[in-house]
Structure formats: C-alpha cells, structure tokens
Structure 1
Amino acid sequence: MEQNLVALYELKRLTFLLGYKQNPESFNDALAFAYFNRVAPILHENIELETYGADPFADVYAVKAEFATEVLRYVDELERAEDFEGLGFYKLEEKFGGYKANRIKLIHALEYFRIDGRFDEKFWKAIEANAPAEANSLDSKFSPEDVYFV
C-alpha cells in the first residue's frame, strides 16, 4: 500500500473527525463512525465513485467496501425473507470467514448500518440474541464523545 495514500487518508480522517467533534450537527453520525473505525463509507460519499470511477482510498480501509457491501446485501436478503434465525451473529460470522476470522470487521460493518438507521429493532435483536460478548450489544448511536485520538 502506498504510504502517501495512507497519509492522505489519515489526514482526511483526522480533519473530518475534528470537524465532527467541533460541529456535530453538520456531520452524519454513521459517517463519523465509519471514519473513526476506518470502515469504507459505502452508505455515504459516493462522490468519489462518481468523480474518479473508484474510491481512491479503497485499499486503506480496515473494513473494505466489498466486505461491507457483501454483509449488507446478505443481511438485507435475510431480513426480507424474515429469516431471523439466519441473522444470528454466529451464523453471520460463519458466513463471512468463520470463527473469529473477521469478527471485528463484521461488528464494525453492522454497527455502521445500525447507526445509519438501517433495519428495525426486531432485526437487531435477532443478531444480538446469539452473539459473543463483544457483539451482544451493537452500537446504535455514535457521538462526538465517542471520538478519541491516541
């Protein structure tokens, strides 16, 4: 991965998050969560795709756009089919890499969708009902107080 691209993304990320902390009413909470956790903002910022034909930061994200999109499509299909048993976290984890392979990526993708207001509470209860400790209470909110820099 090109170092300059990583540095440019980190500068963009820092600038966004500082703006979010200073003027949260001007920013989308789910997008701030995505920046904070380095999740590809598939529900936001389509301007890069329209302008450049691709997201210039695609390789930088910890949770890649392909992964997040695949998760979103799959859970959407399950929700439309009312397959709430299939939405159990361990079943999703098995579908997307197996035991603990992508657990944190899956959690961050799901939290991004939840903070954005996707799906209803019945959907989220189905995921959390059969989940490990780190996923049995997926975030539904994100605020400037959740942003910290280390």
Structure 2
Amino acid sequence: MDQQLIALYELKRQSFLIGYIQNPENFDDALAFAYFNRLAPIFHEDSMREKYDGDPFAEVYAVKADLMDEVLKYVDHRDLAGDHSAIEFYNLEDKFGGYKANRIELIHTLEYARIDGRFSDDVWKAVERNAPAEANRLEKTFSPKDVSFR
C-alpha cells in the first residue's frame, strides 16, 4: 500500500477529528465515527467522489466500501421483505465472512448506519437479538467525547 497515501489520509483524519472536537455542531456525527474508525464514508463525501471520479482513499480504509455496501443492502432487502431473522447478528456474520472473520468490520458498519439514522428500531432489535456481547448494544450516537488519540 502507498505509504504517502496512508500518511495523507491520517493527516486528513486527524484534522477532521480535531475540528469535530472543537466545533461538533459543524460536523456530522456519523462521518466523525467513520473517520475515527477508518471506515469508508459511504453515506458522506459524495462531492469528493464525484470530483475525483472515486474515493482517492479507498484502499486505505480499514473497512472498505464494497463490504459496507453489501452488508447494508442485504439488511435493507431483508428488512423490506420482513425477514428480520436473517439480519440477526450471527446470521449476518455467517453471511459476510463466517465466525469472527469480519466481526469488527461488521459491527462498525452497522454502528455507522445506526448513528446516521438508517433503518428502523425493529431492524436494530433484530440485529442485537442474537449477537455476541460486543454487538448486542450497537452504538446509536457518537460525540466528541468518544474521540481519543491514544
């Protein structure tokens, strides 16, 4: 991976998060969560993707846009079909990598969507109903006090 691209992203990430801490009213909480956890900001920064014909940092993210898109489209389709058992966490984990393969990526993807206000309470109840301890209370909010540079 390109070390300069990583360094540039980390500089952008830290600058964004410092701005978020100083003036949270000027920033979106879900986008701050994405930066904090190094997720592809799939719900945000459309103008950057349009201007550069893609996301220049796509290869740097710890959780890639393709996985996030796939997971969230699946959750949406299963919700629209009324199939909430399919979106219980362990079922999602089995579908997207198997036992513990992508657990943290899956948790962060779901939290990003929840913080952004996606999906109904019924979806979140279903996801958390059959989940390991680290996923049975997915984050609903993110704020400057959640940011740490340790």
Give the shorter-chain TM-score range.
over 0.9
How far off its partner does 1:94 sit? Answer: 0.5
What letter matches 2:119 in structure 1? F
Structure 2's unaligned 5+ residue stretches are: none
Query: What residue number does 1:23 align with?
Result: 23
What is the one-letter code of the residue matched to 1:65? A
1:80-138 deviations in whole A, cap 9, x for unaligned? Answer: 11111111100000010000000000000000000000011111000000000000000
Distance 1:64 1:85 in 2: 25
Match of residue 121 from structure 1: 121
What CA RMSD, in Å, does the superposition of the two structures yield over aligned residues? 0.5
* Unmatched tracts of structure 1, length 5 or more: none
After TM superposition, the score normalised by the length of structure 1 is 0.99
Counterpart secondary structure, 2:85: coil
CA distance in 2, matches of 1:37, 1:101: 18
Deviating beyond 4 angstroms after TM superposition, the runs of 4 or more aligned structure 1 residues are: none
TM-score by length of 2: 0.99
Shift of the alpha carbon at 1:48? 2.1
Work out the CA distance in 1 between the residues paired with 2:87 and 2:71: 11
Query: How many angstroms does 1:149 deviate by?
Result: 0.3
Aligned partners of 1:74 and 1:48: how far apart in 2?
26
- Separation in 2, partners of 1:47, 1:19: 20
Alignment of 1:66 onto 2:57: no
In structure 2, C-alpha distance between the alignment counterparts of 1:130 and 1:54, rounded to whole Å: 36
2:137 is the counterpart of 1:112: no
| Letter matched to residue 89 of structure 2 | F
- CA distance in 2: counterparts of 1:54 and 1:122, whole angstroms: 33
Aligned length: 150
Partner of 2:11, secondary structure, is: helix
Letter in 1 for 2:59: D
Percent identity over paired residues: 65
Q: How does 1:43-62 map to 2 (within 5 A)?
A: 43-62=43-62
